Structure 1
């Protein structure tokens, strides 16, 4: 199992180096987000094919992991493609701090390591011989619910933005009425589900890193902080009122 984890890490190093080289060539590092999202869809099936574990378990994990990966990766791919050659503001900011492309290569390879961490639930599932247990079914059920919730949140936002009359207006319909970032909440919940499903596996506790890292990224790094910074610039006081009345992350009732 450790051997295949190292093989997966080596493969991700190569893939992310190629994406870095493409980013240098086209002067747009935004496609890093796309390949990061597709990472699970690359590694999970490999682990399932080579792992000796029970087919029911490893393929249940793999199908849900690939569904999450392809949905998010494809969504980001078309978003990045739509804005190309304009680069994501995060990478524009990093360009001001990092002169040259060397630090960006290091940054890409660090993301490769993170992808391997997020592939741990699928690696462990592929090497366990027992059929699915009740705690694993509960965890995977939570993953499925979270995937549906995330898809619904994205669909509601897309529908809202498609109406020209909503330009400059805060979206507070559907799930967005109860959370400023329901898509991020369900993204986090996906990995809570995979961690719960892995807890009954030997060394499964290490998968708790996945929801912890996801929560940190979404709430402290590239998720909520940057999204809200942009929303405040574009919507001003309307978004400040939305911040005052609506939960930032976990869906909850609005304040009066």
Structure 2
């Protein structure tokens, strides 16, 4: 791996780290002022857009293939901005998320130190780590090729599942007739988490776009970490624990009949509907 542009990558990583620290710091300052720490969720996706924009600018004039660089920038921006707008619109008028309210009750000592340790420091580190495929792809001089094209296709599948799943769930919840029901229609009949499955595909796609050179394989850590977060920590596992407590048998029936993550044909009869609030 003697041809790896270590100096350029190190400079890029430094620039992204500084940008993310500033980005996260501004969000934390605003959150403290308005007493709502859950606004960080809105800026999770846009944080990767910051990393992509900085990487695109820092890599300008280098040896990276311009088409690959632009594609990675655009795909990251479309995913990140859509996600931020969706969460911002969903959370509008609802105040601080109860998870953050419960966390803040445990605060001791310096508020800033507590927030950095419990919320913002981890978020920033994850943004830097998971954005590695975006950063590395900016310095690869090969054309997109077959693997890059497959990466774009996987990203497109992911965005479809994530965006359509979010849209279907929002429409379902907005209809008063669905009060007391579990969302088990559309993509939600094929997987209990079309949005999380889509998110995973997006980052697998971006990883494939970082394979324009053999050394890009080291960025596989990014989709692994993202999928682990979505399945075992802040995503699927956390949500399902809450749903089981609040929805009881109706959600258990949904769990028994619907794939937990990877989309599969529904196993229940067409007329069977769980009775509980999604």
Q: How does 1:31-110 map to 2 (within 5 A)?
A: 31-51=39-59, 52=62, 53-84=64-95, 87-100=96-109, 101=111, 102-106=113-117, 107-110=119-122
Partner residue in 2 for 1:145: 157
Q: How does 1:118-197 map to 2 (within 5 A)?
A: 118-197=130-209
For normalisation by structure 2, the TM-score amounts to: 0.85
For 1:97, what is the secondary structure of its paired residue? coil
Structure 1: unaligned runs, 5 residues or longer: none
> What is the Cα deviation at residue 62 of structure 1?
0.8
For normalisation by structure 1, the TM-score amounts to: 0.92
Cα distance in structure 1, aligned partners of 2:100 and 2:23: 19
Partner residue in 1 for 2:127: 115
Query: Alpha carbon RMSD of aligned pairs, Å?
Result: 1.7
Larger Rg: 2
Residue pair 1:198, 1:205 contacting (<8 A) in 2 also: yes
Cα distance in structure 1, aligned partners of 2:146 and 2:92: 42
Cα distance in structure 2, aligned partners of 1:235 and 1:215: 26
Cα distance in structure 2, aligned partners of 1:123 and 1:47: 6
Cα distance in structure 1, aligned partners of 2:233 and 2:105: 18
Cα distance in structure 1, aligned partners of 2:260 and 2:11: 41
> What is the Cα deviation at residue 127 of structure 1?
1.4
CA 1:38–1:169: 2 relative to 1, 3 Å: same
Aligned residue-pair number = 254
For 2:180, what is the secondary structure of its paired residue? coil
For 1:228, what is the secondary structure of its paired residue? helix
Q: How does 1:183-222 map to 2 (within 5 A)?
A: 183-222=195-234
Cα distance in structure 2, aligned partners of 1:103 and 1:203: 37
Render the CA deviation track for 1:144-182: whole Å, top value 9, x for unaligned.
Answer: 121122111111112211210101201111111111111
Q: Which runs of 4+ in 1 moved over 6 A?
A: none
Partner residue in 1 for 2:236: 224
Cα distance in structure 1, aligned partners of 2:217 and 2:93: 40
For 1:64, what is the secondary structure of its paired residue? helix
